[in-house]
A and B are shown apart, each in its own frame.
Chain A
Amino acid sequence: MRRPVSLYGLTFSLPLLIWQLLFFVFPLLFLVALSFWTVKNFVMSPDFDTVNWTTMYGRAVFWQAYGATFALAAGAAALTSILAFPCAYAIAFKLSDTARRWAVFLMVIPFFTSYLVRVYSWQIFLSDNGIINVMLGWIGLGPYPLLNTVGATMVGYLTLSFPLVVLLQLFSLVFIDRTLIEAAHNMRCGRVRTVFEVVIPSARVGLVIAALFAFILSFGDFVSPIYLGGGDPTTLSILITDTTKSGQQWPRAAVIALTMIGTLMVVAFAAVQFAYKGKTK
């Protein structure tokens, strides 16, 4: 049965609705419209032309950037999840209640500082004359090129999403019924095996959502690939800035942006489907 819309309900939901319309739906619709505009002599004019789509999708550089961005984001999601899991597991199962509260607090601290600042500070560590290479020099090694590599980009992605992924994993791990773990032990399931047979399946929704967040954050990130990765490989976010700078091609940038939004929607939907697979509510 449908319930009538009350004034009381509207009072609370209307501001959010207006906000969403103004700052999400309208810009998105504008972006869609923009992608069909044309540019002549560095001047944009409203139009309905699919030239931007066909041009962008016809370029190898676009698909290279798309592939690189997707692979980097997927790699970052996997790497972050794998590195974060032992950390979240230890906080959830090995620490006392007090220590766990402190650990959660410490995980929040990175958010105090701007991500951009944290990435710049990584440059100090990773550059050719940076802290790491100087220290390696003391023992007669290096210098190694650390900055402007894919590895450096990954470090940036980890900086971006690691604390969040740990927290999301942690919150799904602490709610696992401990008797399930005891029951597994009781049925001859050793400690390590229990992690794979019981802990991970029990926390699956949280773990998948955490990985999804790492993917989303990395996929759209501009800071790490440019300041730590040196713009190589070119990611979609870098391609957007390049496109806008070269000849006022905002409509083509809109095509890239819409492709990214579409990709994230598909990935998010697939991830949520996978997370809740087999669960009947």
Chain B
Amino acid sequence: MQRDTLVSFEGVVKRFGSFVAVQKMDFEIRKGEFLAIMGSSGCGKTTTLRMLAGLEAPSEGVIRLSGKPINDLPTWSRDTPMVWQSLALFPFLNVRENVEFALKMRGIGKVERRRRAEQWLDRMQITEFADRNIAQLSGGQRQRVALARSLVVEPEILLLDEPLSALDAALKVRMQSVLKTLQRETGITFVYVTHSQSEAFSMADRVVIMSRGVIEQIGTPQEIYRAPRTRFVADFLGSSNLFSGRVRPGAAGGVELETPAGALKLGGDGVMPADGTTATVTVLDTKTHLSVTPPARSVNVVPVRVVGEEFVGATATVYLETPQGQEIRVQKGHDELADLPLGIGQDLFAWWEPKDGHLVAEA
């Protein structure tokens, strides 16, 4: 175990009856990092968080906090404050009383309680609402109250369960930067559960991607984006083109992948798969290029036909199809696409550098 590990999951399994919510989970949360756990609904991300908070007990395995097993520690004996999706603010208390609640439970005296609550109300810029009822606050203000209420005890770790999902898009972006800044300033470890890739990638230092109770990949947003480790991750992120085929020795040395779209040369990173096995390679849609004539080089060129185009702000996505019917996406700035004829049915060539292709683990 590393010295900077705060939490470790060791072979943790969680079953609800015959349903396995989390299967054999092993991972570590480092001190002071912003970790996002991402996946679609039902993937076990919330269950993972609830086990860490002590709201669910693992069926198997050990969860350690600062090296000590916490499996049998009830939630009220742990220091793992959580921010709920519904925020779970107490409607019968005003803002200040909500923020003071955890301090009161710790038996901290009135004066000290007041002082520390005041500090966090000020930090979250909600001092002016201190004496209001929760029902009188807007969504963003409630969000801040919930954060202040959890952070007022200055914990080592803060758990967040999709806290921004009820906010509108603009407010969401603003709260993301509030959260990120808060995390950096306090140095508190944040564990943030979300189904939103943009939330996870914009805030987190590391991202855990889960699917059906299994961790598919752990890494920095850049690592995951550039080289999805499994087919599931690549599909989930939806920002790469995938090609599957049989591995064989390349004509000009190296290794090639024999796919329906033609022979594709594999790049240099990682261990090359053995001849004769099947493999899948991913190429980011931003690293896939288009041209009217075949490029001078002969490797990794696929003839394609335009099937659609979509403008996404600063960039555009071009949807294409290989003669075999496989969909390929290319994402580029408007300038780069300006010279290309992109009418539907237009024949073009798609190509990429072998170094931009990444092998994924076969599932």
**Residues of A with Cβ closer than 8 Å to B?**
177, 179-180, 182-191, 193, 197-198, 201-202, 204, 278-280
Contacts and interface: CB of A to CB of B under 8 A. Distances in A.
A189 B150 CA distance: 13
B105 A180 contact: no
Given A177-B88, A179-B86, A179-B88, A186 B136 contact: no
Interface in B4-51: none
A202 B136 CA distance: 17
Contact of A278 (B76, B81, B92): B92
Contacts of A204: 92
Contacts of B88: 177, 179-180, 182-183
A182 B74 CA distance: 11
A190 B91 CA distance: 19
Which residue, B55, B76, B91, has most C-beta atoms of chain A within 10 A? B76
B80 interface: yes
A182 B150 CA distance: 13
Given A201-B90, A280-B133, A179 B106 contact: no
Given A183-B84, A280-B133, 9 more contacts: A177-B86, A177-B88, A179-B88, A186-B53, A186-B55, A187-B81, A189-B101, A193-B105, A202-B92
A196 to B, nearest CB: 12
B92 A201 contact: yes
A185 B50 CA distance: 12
30 contacts: A177-B88, A179-B84, A182-B55, A183-B82, A183-B90, A184-B90, A184-B105, A185-B55, A185-B75, A185-B76, A186-B53, A186-B54, A186-B55, A186-B76, A186-B80, A186-B81, A187-B105, A189-B76, A189-B101, A191-B76, A197-B105, A201-B90, A201-B92, A202-B91, A202-B92, A204-B92, A278-B92, A278-B133, A279-B133, A280-B136
Contacts of A183: 82, 84, 88, 90
Chain A interface helix/strand/loop/mixed: helix
Interface residues of B, number: 27
B166 interface: no
B126 interface: no
Contacts of A188: 76-77, 102, 105-106
A180 B75 CA distance: 14
A252 B72 CA distance: 69
A203 to B, nearest CB: 10
A279 B136 CA distance: 10
A62 to B, nearest CB: 41
Interface of B: 53-55, 74-77, 80-82, 84, 86, 88, 90-93, 101-102, 105-106, 133, 135-136, 149-150, 153
Nearest to A179: B88
A30 B293 CA distance: 103
For the complex of A and B, 8 pairs with smallest distance between CB atoms = A183-B88, A187-B102, A201-B92, A179-B88, A188-B105, A185-B75, A189-B105, A185-B76
B218 to A, nearest CB: 26
A198 B90 contact: yes
Nearest to B101: A187
B106 to A, nearest CB: 6
Nearest to B84: A179
B92 A186 contact: no
Nearest to A198: B90
Contacts of B82: 183, 186
Nearest to B83: A183
Contacts of B93: 201
Contacts of B133: 278-280
Contacts of A191: 76
Contact of B76 (A180, A190, A280): A190
A83 to B, nearest CB: 24
Contacts of A198: 90
A198 B104 CA distance: 13
A197 to B, nearest CB: 8
Nearest to A201: B92
B294 to A, nearest CB: 60
Contacts of A184: 90, 101, 105
A280 B135 CA distance: 8
Contacts of B153: 187
Contacts of A197: 101, 105
A189 B55 CA distance: 13
Contacts of B101: 184, 187, 189, 197
